[in-house]
Each structure stands twice: as C-alpha cells, then as structure tokens.
C-alpha cells in the first residue's frame, strides 16, 4: 500500500512538473528535498512525459527544432555541471564550514573576508601581469646588478632593474615584427591601471550593495528565527562528517539568533551613567592622542628615511639595512597600538561584544588611515619633488618594504598575541583562560595591507602578486592559530552585518582615499625624466591627451574624442554620477525602513 501510494505521488509530481514552463520546472526540481540523483531521475521522467505528450498531439518537431532543443538541453547541462565544479573548487570551502561550526559567524566573517581579498588580488595580478609585465619582457634589457639576497627584504639593489618597479618599464612602442602590430607601453600602462581601478570600483560597489541587500533589505533576514529552525536542513547531505558540521553550524546560528531575542537591557543609575560616559571619553582621548603621536613619529622618521635614499650607498650593507627602519617602526606601531585599543575596550565594558568590536575597528581605522595619509603626503610632496633620478621607484620600494614587514609582523602577532597568550593562560595564570580571536584588529590588518597594495600598483605593478602570496600564507597561519590557541567567543552574538561593514570600510575610506592619491599622481605630479614609461611628459595624464589629439584626425574615432572631452575631463559628469549613487542609496534606505515597519506590523498582528 505504501509503495503504491509513493508511486502515485511521484506520478502526480511528474505530471504537475510537465505542465509547468521550463524556468518554473527547473526551479521546482531544484527546491525538492531529495538527493541530486533522485532529482535527475525525476527530471528525465518529466522530459520523457513531455516528449510523449507532444507525440500524441501529432506535433512532431522538425529536425531543426529538435537540434535547437537538444543544443539547449546540452548547454543547460553543461552550465549546471560547470556551476557544480566551480562550487567544489571554491577555496577553503570545507575549512570555512569547520570554522563557522566551531567559532560562530563572527570569527567566520574574518576568514570569508580574507578569502574575498585573496580572490581580488589574484584578479589584480592577472590583469597587470598580462597587459603590463609580459609586453615589457619582450623589450627588457639584461640586468647587470648582482643578487645578494638582502634585496628580498629591502626591495633595492637587483630588483631595481626588474619588472617589479615602475622605473624599469620602457616608454617605447614595442614591435617585434617590422611593419607589424605595435604595443604602446605608455597607453598600456595608464589604461591598464585606470581600467583596473574602474573595475575595482564597480566590484566593491556591487559587493557592498549585495551584502547590504542580503543583510538589511532581504525579507528573509527578518524571519531568521523561524526559518533557521524549520527550513534550514539540507536533505542532500549524506556523509556523517557533513551532518555533524551542519548541526554545529545550525546550532551556532540559532544561538546567535536567540541572543537578539533575549537581549538584556541594563538599567544604570545616574551616577553609573556619568561614570561610563567619563570612561568612554577618556578612552577616546587616549586612543586619538596615541594615533596623533604615532603619525608625528612616522612623519619625522620618513623624512630621515629619504636622506638615507639620497646618500646613494646602495652597495653598503648598513645603508640597505637602515632602509628597513621606517617599515619596521610603522609595522610595530600598527601591531602594538591595536592591542592597547583592545585593552581600552575591555576597560569600557560594553554591553554587547558587537559594540566592542565596532568601536575597536573605528579606532584602528583612524590609526591606520592616518598613518597611510602621512606616508602618502611624504611620498607625493617630499619624495616626488626630491632630486632623485626615479622617485616613482623609490615610492615603490617603500611600499614593497611596508607590505613585506607588515606581513612578517602579522605572523609574529599570531605567535605573540595568541600562542604565548595561550601558554600564559593555561600555565602561568589559569584564570585568564584561552584568548579569543580579535576580529577588529585582524580585519583592520587586512584592510591596511590591501590599501598599501592599491597605492603601490602604479609604482610596482606586481605588488598584487606579492600580496596574493602573503594572504595565502596568512589564511593558513591564522586558521592553525585559531584552532590551537583560541576559544569560541564567550558571548554569542549575531553578526549578519559584519561582512557588509568590512566591505564598506574597504570601499570607504580605503579605496576612495587611494583613488585620490592615484588621481593626484596621474594629473598633478611630473614624472621622472630618466625612467619609466612617462619620462619626458609633463604628467602621466599627458600621454592620454596626446593620444586623443591623434584620434581627432580619424573620423571613426570621433566618439572616443567626444567621451574624453565631455565626460572624462568634466567635473559635472562625476558630480551627476555621485548624485545618482547617493539617490540609489537613499532609496535602498527607505526600502529598509519600509520593511522594518512592515515587520513590526506583522509581529503585532501575530501577537493579537
């Protein structure tokens, strides 16, 4: 009886699916709570049912129609297979599931952000290597400098005559075949960098919008408690290990959802409120004063760093080692001061872990962006106006050292901040216990490193490749340190909006600040006279202006000239574009308020 009942139910399902349109049928089959193999069997039965119905109607399709239908089915099957393959090839997919199950979504958000940055740098490296570095190899001259090994840390010496730095690239038009196609390195360099930043801007903007919609606008975000409990389980899971991981993930997410429901509202007396406000003010004064002192020290140290460059004793071991003073001091400040900020946060005793994390991130952002701003002022106003033969290469070397030393200090931070802290908490002072993973400090380390990479792309095109390797190593080091040294957060809290906050911080102020630096460099500063693809020009942008003048003589290229004169060089165009983005943001915000109001009304109706 049960067998025949199940058979009849499946026949009814096949019949209902056969009567649907193609898109509706695909979505309905995907949502069935069955294994992939069972879904394929049902799909084949549905296709067979549709074929038999068409034959009974006498509507035998023509040969051309059959070929088109077969091609469409094959293309769809190929797309589904390709999608499954890409899903399996996602970097560290299983590792992220384990981290989310053991430590919750707050810690998981850091590793998801790190993977996102790694993929972003892979894309950056491929663009620069393909359109700038490979053509330069065809016109490269032999490197006569000797390699000592110290260049790996200083970035000077042998590396000066390689494709790592701006100064090595030619300003000639590359052509290996006489009267054959040519490659203009000036245009290739500036257009590759420019188009890369435009693509990066769009990627960041759409990423912010996607996470913003997912965490704030999507109506499913407001029904999380019921859906997590009743509609989350994936019936395609069969292995025991995957079941255990799914159970742990679901348990952690339900706990995080319950913390929002059972949030305690603490009532303080007037005296306690005044005391808390005083503590918060003192903490902010101490953090801002520390940031100002750090920026002052970095500025005076960077001026002395330029004097070391101008001495020119590049073969002297002591002189090359002295070049590491600035990046070591900057990285030391960026490593130690965040620990001080975290200590201030513990003194302030915030009501929720989320408040502690966001305040710590804000203070670290002020510190790191201020230091990067001082360094950019030093590079654009002091190094660029110095008597150096190739100031762009000097800036590239500075950024290379900062990226490398910051990577080393990031690894040391895991050792001293987590490993030694675990040893102390388990042997010397047991009451401390295991440390928790500091999300705010580690996220700002990633944003700082990515900001340096974006600034350095113009002066060192292969810098994204170096950062790509650094992020790859950091992921594994942080993962091992997390699993062996840290404990899950003592207070479980929901972090649906954290990834949105991380991408937004990366977009503003990091990326927008970098665009300002690149804009000043390209439009205002005079390139070096003896090196680089823009030697002899009044500015890097002059290469584009000269190219547009050449295009004016060609009738077919009039549209390019019109776009350049009426859009690219007009402030009004960018004002209208910015206004459009702000209007769209405002509309999204109004949608959020409307959804929240509707949710409150629905809750009231349920209660009634």
Task: Reply yes or no on whether the pLDDT at 92 is more than 90.
Answer: no
Task: Reply yes or no on whether the pLDDT at 144 is more than 70.
Answer: yes
Spatial separation of the C-alpha atoms in residues 91 and 33, rounded to whole Å: 27
Cβ contacts of residue 251 below 8 Å, gap of 6+?
Answer: none
Cβ contacts of residue 442 below 8 Å, gap of 6+?
Answer: 110, 478
Task: State the pLDDT confidence band at 4, using cuts at 50, 70 and 90.
Answer: very low
CA nearest neighbour of 491 among 198, 260, 311, 323:
260
Produce one character per residue of 40-55: b if its CB has 16 or more CB atoms within 10 Å, e if not: eebbebbeebbeeeee
Task: Reply yes or no on whether the pLDDT at 246 is more than 90.
Answer: no
Which pLDDT score is estimated for 504? Answer: 85
> Measured between alpha carbons, how far is residue 258 from residues 490, 492, 503, 539 in Å?
15, 9, 26, 58
Which residues face 487 on adjacent strands? 436
Which pLDDT score is estimated for 259? Answer: 65
Reported in sequence order, the residue ranges of 154-291 that DSSP labels E, i.e. its strands, are 173-174, 183-184
pLDDT digits (tens, 9 = 90+) for 94-113: 788 888 878 877 788 889 88
Task: Reply yes or no on whether the pLDDT at 134 is more than 80.
Answer: yes
For residues 567-579, give the mean pLDDT: 83
Which pLDDT score is estimated for 402? Answer: 93
Cβ contacts of residue 208 below 8 Å, gap of 6+?
Answer: 500, 503, 504, 507
Cβ contacts of residue 506 below 8 Å, gap of 6+?
Answer: 204, 447, 450
Task: Reply yes or no on whether the pLDDT at 388 is more than 50.
Answer: yes
pLDDT digits (tens, 9 = 90+) for 189-204: 999 999 999 999 888 8
Which pLDDT score is estimated for 467? Answer: 94
99 conformational bin, left if phi > 0, alpha if psi -120 to 50, beta if neither: alpha
Spatial separation of the C-alpha atoms in residues 43 and 30, rounded to whole Å: 10
**Stronger pLDDT, 141 or 284, i.e. the higher one:** 284
CA nearest neighbour of 376 among 504, 509, 568:
509
Which pLDDT score is estimated for 5? Answer: 47
Which pLDDT score is estimated for 493? Answer: 54
- Per-residue DSSP letters for 435-503? PBP-HHHHHHHHHHHHHHHHHHTTT-TTHHHHHHHHHHHHHHHHHHHHHHH-B--SS----TTHHHHHH
**Stronger pLDDT, 293 or 256, i.e. the higher one:** 293
> What percent of the chain has a predicted confidence (pLDDT) above 90?
21
The phi and psi torsions of 525 (rounded to 5 degrees) equal -85, 145
Which pLDDT score is estimated for 356? Answer: 79
For residues 457-471, give the mean pLDDT: 94
Kindly state the tokens that stand for 318. 């002591």
Handedness of CA 585, 589, 594, 595 (dihedral sign): positive
Spatial separation of the C-alpha atoms in residues 185 and 606, rounded to whole Å: 67
Task: Reply yes or no on whether the pLDDT at 308 is more than 70.
Answer: no
pLDDT digits (tens, 9 = 90+) for 322-335: 778 889 999 999 88
- Crossing angle of helices 325-348 and 353-378, in 10° steps, is 160
Domain limits, the chain = 1-50, 90-537
Task: Reply yes or no on whether the pLDDT at 266 is more than 70.
Answer: no
Which pLDDT score is estimated for 47? Answer: 83
pLDDT digits (tens, 9 = 90+) for 319-373: 667 778 889 999 999 888 988 888 888 888 777 777 777 888 888 889 999 999 9
Indicate the average pLDDT of the chain. 81
Task: State the pLDDT confidence band at 25, using cuts at 50, 70 and 90.
Answer: confident
Which pLDDT score is estimated for 210? Answer: 78
Which pLDDT score is estimated for 117? Answer: 92
Task: State the pLDDT confidence band at 412, using cuts at 50, 70 and 90.
Answer: confident
Task: State the pLDDT confidence band at 444, using cuts at 50, 70 and 90.
Answer: confident
């Amino acid at each position: 009886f049960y067998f025949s009942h199940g058979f009849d139910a499946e026949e009814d399902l096949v019949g209902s699916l056969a009567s649907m349109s193609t898109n509706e049928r695909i979505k309905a089959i995907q949502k069935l709570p069955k294994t992939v193999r069972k879904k394929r069997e049902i799909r084949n039965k549905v296709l067979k049912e549709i074929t038999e119905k068409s034959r009974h109607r006498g509507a035998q399709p023509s040969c051309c129609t059959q070929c088109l239908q077969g091609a469409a089915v094959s293309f769809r099957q190929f797309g589904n297979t390709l999608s499954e393959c890409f899903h399996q090839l996602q970097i560290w997919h299983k590792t992220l599931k384990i981290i989310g199950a053991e430590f919750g979504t707050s810690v998981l958000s850091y590793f998801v952000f790190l993977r996102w940055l790694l993929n972003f740098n892979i894309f950056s490296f491929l663009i620069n290597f393909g359109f700038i570095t490979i053509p330069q190899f065809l016109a490269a001259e032999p490197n006569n400098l000797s390699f000592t090994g110290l260049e790996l840390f200083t970035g000077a010496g042998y590396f000066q005559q390689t494709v790592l730095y701006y100064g090595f690239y030619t300003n000639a038009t590359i052509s290996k075949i006489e009267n054959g196609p040519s490659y203009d390195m000036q245009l290739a360099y500036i257009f590759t960098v420019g188009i890369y930043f435009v693509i990066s801007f769009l990627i960041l903007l759409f990423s912010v919008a996607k996470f913003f919609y997912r965490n704030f606008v999507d109506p499913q975000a407001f029904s999380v408690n019921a859906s997590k409990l009743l509609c989350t389980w994936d019936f395609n899971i069969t292995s025991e290990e995957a079941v255990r991981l799914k159970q742990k993930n679901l348990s952690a997410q339900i706990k995080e959802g319950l913390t929002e429901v059972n949030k305690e509202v603490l009532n303080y007396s007037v005296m306690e409120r005044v005391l808390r406000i005083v503590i918060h003010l003192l903490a902010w004064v101490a953090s801002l004063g520390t940031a100002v002192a750090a920026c002052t020290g970095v500025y005076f140290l960077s001026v002395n760093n330029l004097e070391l460059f101008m001495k020119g004793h590049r073969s002297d071991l002591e002189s090359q080692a002295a070049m590491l003073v600035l990046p070591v001091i900057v990285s030391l400040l960026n490593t130690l001061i965040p620990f001080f900020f975290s200590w201030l946060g513990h003194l302030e005793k915030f009501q929720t872990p989320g408040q502690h994390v966001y305040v710590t991130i804000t203070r670290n952002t002020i510190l790191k962006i201020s230091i990067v701003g001082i360094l950019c002022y030093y590079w654009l106003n002091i190094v660029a106006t110095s008597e150096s033969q190739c100031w762009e290469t000097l800036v590239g070397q500075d950024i290379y050292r900062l990226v490398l030393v910051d990577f080393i200090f990031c690894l040391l931070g895991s050792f001293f901040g987590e490993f030694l802290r675990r040893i102390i908490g388990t042997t010397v002072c047991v009451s401390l216990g295991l440390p928790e993973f500091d999300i705010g400090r580690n996220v700002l380390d990633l944003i700082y490193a990515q900001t340096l990479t974006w600034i350095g792309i113009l002066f060192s095109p292969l810098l994204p490749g170096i950062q790509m390797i650094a992020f790859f190593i950091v992921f594994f080091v942080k993962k091992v340190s997390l699993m062996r040294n840290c404990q899950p957060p003592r207070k479980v809290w929901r972090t649906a909006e954290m990834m949105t906050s991380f991408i937004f911080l990366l977009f503003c102020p990091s990326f927008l600040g970098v665009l300002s630096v690149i804009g000043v460099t390209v439009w205002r500063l005079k390139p070096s006279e003896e090196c680089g693809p823009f030697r002899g020009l009044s500015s890097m942008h002059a290469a584009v202006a000269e190219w547009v003048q050449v295009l004016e003589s060609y009738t077919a290229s009039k549209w390019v000239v019109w776009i350049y004169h009426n859009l690219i060089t007009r402030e009004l165009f960018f004002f209208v574009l910015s206004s459009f983005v702000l209007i769209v943001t405002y509309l999204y915000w109004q949608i959020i308020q409307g959804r929240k109001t509707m949710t409150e009304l629905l809750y009231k109706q349920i209660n009634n």
